[in-house]
Structure 1
Amino acid sequence: MTGPPLEDRPFDGNHFDYSPWSFWDEADERAKRRQLDVRRHLAEHRGYRIGERCFLSELASVQNEEFHLGHGCYVAAGAYLSGSLHAGRDCTINPYAVVRGHVRLGDAVRIGAHTSVLGFNHTTDDPDTEVFRQPLRSTGITIGDDVWIGSHVVVLDGVTVGDRSVVAAGAVVTRDVPAGAVVGGNPARVLRWRVPALAPRSDDLVAGLTAFAETAHAQARRVLERCWDPDLGLFTDRPGSPPTVRAQCDAVEVADLLLGRAPEQLPARVQVDRLRGWQDPGTGLVGALRPDGTVEPARDGLSDPGAAYHVLSVGYALDLLGSGFAEPVHVVSRTDAAEVVAGLERQPWTTNAWAAGAWVDALGTALHWNRRRGDLGATGATEALFGWLLTRADPRTGAWGRPAPEDGLLQVVNGFYRASRGTFAQFGLPVPHPERVVDTVLEHVRDARFFRPETQNACNVLDVAHPLWLTRGTAYRADEVLGVARRLLADALGHWTDHAGFGFRAPHPTTTGLPATAPGLQGTEMWLAVIWLLADLLGLAEVLRYRPRGVHRPEPGPV
């Protein structure tokens, strides 16, 4: 036993054996002398080399023929070590880890609890001889510098784990891990890149992202100026189009993304007062913008598509400006559980799942804004929403709605994005059937009607990118997901128009002149979010120097 007497801290008599990182700062002198005696004994009688400020728990099993620990390493209780171990400085072998065979660790390697690093294997060449009677073979395992290996990982013989990489908990590593990668799954695959600069550059995505980021940041002021109407004192989506509520909000989002502040055309306080003033105090909704700068009442509550989206766009624009709605969204705070279920049942899930998902998105976001204000609404309303979605998700697709001959899985996938964005994603809850969602999205993205470069639009690509990002933790079909992300990202980077931004639809010689391809604030805001999501799937988002914080923020909504 080390540390204070047992009676002073019950259940913690072996504190440093299980939490050895604090030993040399907190243990008493008797315990430190005991540890130095252990180290001397191992050096004299076994030839072990152990650096300064190392700690070896006497509750570990250390049976190595060769053993070298650099400065500041520790081995915790229950660890089982055998074979030859050569470790650099500041390495950690946590409780119940197994490190056997020929293993070499670089500097600052952390090995989680219950992990097995097995630098040997049985041969199985002779089918007529029992496996345990056949000889062992050892190629050895090499783990580079600054590597974090999570708990319950298995690393098999012959593997090299590159510098600055991360191996996610539960992974089974059967092949080399590239330097700078984050890997997970069984067998382990690259999930993303901890060090984007080390990502493969065969498609030159890093260079493309870098060039795009420099262009977008440098041209952001011009993109906003182009859509500002000084006579009206309002933003329009693009020059010549009428001002809309959404255009004001998209301007706030684009400025936040690329400039890190509010649009310069008006003081932030003026923009906040205007957006708050557009909220109807009776319903809590924001209707359509009239030519004189006032807003119309929402026609049918959340069934008014414009007002429903304004719950998202105005709410997040105000949040980015450091404010919020002046009133709760009253039409939602007055809705009880039975009415929530009735509203969900009325939605056109089988014919227009996107519209149904949009209604859910607005409802979930209104509940979110209200809860943030302390208005919890009718008892059980939020629970009714999540309960209905959980029990009605199709276990075959992970989504709601049905495919149709005229547009395949488009409605299913787009409806899933809208419904999950406003609920599971915004509230930070796991989606039901995540692996089926991946299956469905990967099947949908093969539909050339929507994903050829000339047919892409921001909505359809966003509605693929977000579900793949939301389910990325499963590592399911990770190689295919990353392949889709690379392809769509390479396409998206080519959609930018200098000094104007993105159109909603991708530009192409065959679509020249279509209004949807004209650059505007809506397309710019959406494609910026798409590019970030796809880049983050590939571990390259840091190159962009922005992160969505509004409607398309990757994290749960602000609380």
Structure 2
Amino acid sequence: MSPTTTTQPTTTSGRHDLDYEPWRFWSEADAAQRDRQQALQEELAGRGVRCGERCFVSALASVTTDVLELGDRTYVAAGAVISGDVRAGRDCSVNPYTVVRGEVRIGDAVRIGAHTSLLGFNHTMDDPDTEIHRQPLRVQGITIGDDVWIGSHVVVLDGVRVGGKAVLAAGAVVTKDVPPGAVVGGNPARVLKWRTAPPAPEAPPRDDLAAAVARFADAARAQARAVLDRCWDPATGLFLDAPGVSATVRAQCDAVEVADLLLDGPPPQLPATEQVDRLRSWQDASTGMMGELGPDGVARRPVTGLFDPEAAYHVLSVGYALELLGSRFAHPVAVVSDASLEDVLHGLREQDRLADPWATGHWVDVLGTALHRNRELGVDTPPGATEALLGRLLSRADPRTGMWGRPGPDGDLLLTVNGYYRATRGTFAQHGVPVPYPERVVDTVLAHVRDARYFHPGRQNACNVLDVAHPLWLTRATGHRSDEVVDVARTLLGQALGRWVPDQGFAFRASDASTASLPQARPGLQGTEMWLAIVWILADLAGVSDALGYRPRGVHRPEPAADLGASQI
């Protein structure tokens, strides 16, 4: 082991305030103090210690490590004792008189209170005839996840893994693994409460899951009429997403999709021919778009260009609702058919400038779907637009993630993964073209689905779950990490089945005590349509979709809506 650092710089007052309160150092230290800290870190670097930007290591700490890595803005206070193989991420604190010894891995944003001990090794005592100090050490190591708060006077023993976002209460003696998001305390430590939603129970065995899926499907079909009646306004002859809200174009389309899935036909509240006539009448002939409904139930006139944000999704929802009703658009999507190839390319370049993966995916989805609908009507303009769109996506895919756009702060993959679903839905999936880098897509999705901010059972919503389920289904033929994919599908499916509200359907987002009052936590047509599709995709990945007795045929259909591969060259 390396020798202990012994230099002891002081503050200008002759005291060591900043050594004991190092979070103040970079805002309050004078030039001389900063120079001494820099010199100390250079000395440590000579002994193999790696310090990130704006780290602080007190000269009053004992550092005798074989390996020490400190991420950006991590500090070690006076009196701390660090030895062995220790690696900490960014924004961590090792407060006064803390002991970190042995093999210890600490994630990002971990705060460790004073007088705490993390002991990543242990003595053995197997031979009673040999003094303990002569018996070998055993090292299993300690792993601390991200965003963990460890209070003062805590002891964490060798072999323990602490999940992200956990809290170890002051004085706890931690002898066993701590689940993510748990608050533990006592000796030995036990779970007192949860900082985040508790982890879901494991998915049931396949036969039990298939039976649960069948029971769900039977109940949903039996209650489908009640779900639709709840959202039907006989005064206007329009569907509402939920009682008490305004009628929307999408609500009419969601009703069609729900009825097709559960009743194998159109919504019974209105003859199918009237529903077709109404949806077709909302299409503006000059743009081919469908504006949102006003208070009078009349569709507003869309703005020109690619695309009116208020009307864009209706290219998907109305187009597929008409298809389920045996019809199609009355007019081409003129904002696409009247555009030039340069207009399309300019729109794609504009998405690059905005640098928002979800917004780009949405725009691409609408464009790809408009091209598909126009081709149905015999309008294939602008020439080369489909090839240019697919070619640009192929050439811009990141070989490290298989996706487009960069992760957000702290590696957040939400917009990247959600944007990937939208972009591939309207292009590769809709047109039957294989996606690039499918194994990297699986890796990225499996990394994202571990993010408790979005996938704890109480925090899920239909978009986030759909946007991981569909890419896993789209890439399933690779077999890459298939056991993990099936486990994820089974777990998410088991959670989804329990969210059906009798005679009301699904809410868009899961609810808990803190979110139950939110509009998105109320059952409605959008949530019901999306979760029914999600349930099928997850059930198919889990091998139990036959038990459902339905298969999505609308916006969230699994098969291509068109086959470019069958076209003549």
TM-score by length of 1: 0.63
Matches within 5 A, 1:289-304: 289-299=293-303, 301-304=305-308
Match of 2:210 in 1: 206
* Among candidates 258, 263, 270, match of residue 254 of structure 1: 258
1:218 matched to 2:222? The reply is yes
Cα offset, 1:374, TM superposition: 1.1
1:229 matched to 2:236? The reply is no
* Among candidates 249, 264, 289, match of residue 285 of structure 1: 289
CA distance in 1, matches of 2:311, 2:544: 35
Equivalent position amino acid for 2:211 in 1? A
Task: Assess if the C-alpha contact under 8 Å between 1:403 and 1:409 holds in 2.
Answer: yes
Task: Assess if the C-alpha contact under 8 Å between 1:349 and 1:400 holds in 2.
Answer: no
CA distance in 2, matches of 1:256, 1:376: 29
1:543 matched to 2:547? The reply is yes
Cα offset, 1:257, TM superposition: 0.3
CA distance in 2, matches of 1:402, 1:235: 39
1:339 matched to 2:343? The reply is yes
CA distance in 2, matches of 1:488, 1:350: 32
* Among candidates 264, 267, 273, match of residue 263 of structure 1: 267
* Among candidates 393, 400, 413, match of residue 396 of structure 1: 400
* Among candidates 357, 364, 380, match of residue 361 of structure 2: 357
1:458 matched to 2:472? The reply is no
Cα offset, 1:202, TM superposition: 5.9
* Among candidates 377, 384, 400, match of residue 380 of structure 1: 384
* Among candidates 434, 439, 451, match of residue 435 of structure 1: 439
How many residues align? The count is 361
Q: % of aligned pairs identical?
A: 65
Cα offset, 1:342, TM superposition: 1.2
CA distance in 2, matches of 1:552, 1:348: 26
Match of 1:481 in 2: 485
Equivalent position amino acid for 1:540 in 2? V
Cα offset, 1:351, TM superposition: 4.1
Equivalent position amino acid for 2:326 in 1? G
CA distance in 2, matches of 1:503, 1:325: 30
Task: Assess if the C-alpha contact under 8 Å between 2:256 and 2:321 holds in 1.
Answer: yes
Match of 1:180 in 2: none
Match of 1:188 in 2: none
Cα offset, 1:478, TM superposition: 0.4
Task: Assess if the C-alpha contact under 8 Å between 1:301 and 1:308 holds in 2.
Answer: no
Task: Assess if the C-alpha contact under 8 Å between 1:288 and 1:295 holds in 2.
Answer: yes
CA distance in 1, matches of 2:370, 2:356: 22
Match of 1:504 in 2: 508
Task: Assess if the C-alpha contact under 8 Å between 1:285 and 1:301 holds in 2.
Answer: no
Matches within 5 A, 1:75-86: none
Equivalent position amino acid for 1:480 in 2? E
CA distance in 2, matches of 1:444, 1:418: 16
Deviations 1:368-420 (A, max 9, x none): 01111111112211111111111011111111111011670001100000000
- TM-aligned CA distance change 1:491 to 1:377, over 3 Å: same
CA distance in 2, matches of 1:484, 1:349: 35
CA distance in 2, matches of 1:302, 1:229: 33
Cα offset, 1:301, TM superposition: 3.7
Cα offset, 1:243, TM superposition: 0.1
Please state whether the residue corresponding to 1:531 is helix, strand or coil.
helix
CA distance in 2, matches of 1:483, 1:511: 27
Matches within 5 A, 1:12-161: none
Task: Assess if the C-alpha contact under 8 Å between 2:361 and 2:422 holds in 1.
Answer: yes
- TM-aligned CA distance change 1:407 to 1:215, over 3 Å: farther
1:329 matched to 2:333? The reply is yes
Task: Assess if the C-alpha contact under 8 Å between 2:432 and 2:562 holds in 1.
Answer: no
- TM-aligned CA distance change 1:506 to 1:301, over 3 Å: farther
CA distance in 2, matches of 1:202, 1:393: 36
1:239 matched to 2:238? The reply is no
* Among candidates 426, 429, 441, match of residue 430 of structure 2: 426
Deviations 1:32-75 (A, max 9, x none): xxxxxxxxxxxxxxxxxxxxxxxxxxxxxxxxxxxxxxxxxxxx
* Among candidates 403, 407, 412, match of residue 416 of structure 2: 412
Match of 2:37 in 1: none
Matches within 5 A, 1:499-538: 499-538=503-542
Equivalent position amino acid for 1:247 in 2? A
Equivalent position amino acid for 2:407 in 1? P
- TM-aligned CA distance change 1:538 to 1:349, over 3 Å: farther
CA distance in 2, matches of 1:379, 1:360: 17
Structure 1, unaligned stretches of length 5 or more? Answer: 1-198
- TM-aligned CA distance change 1:505 to 1:365, over 3 Å: same
TM-score by length of 2: 0.62
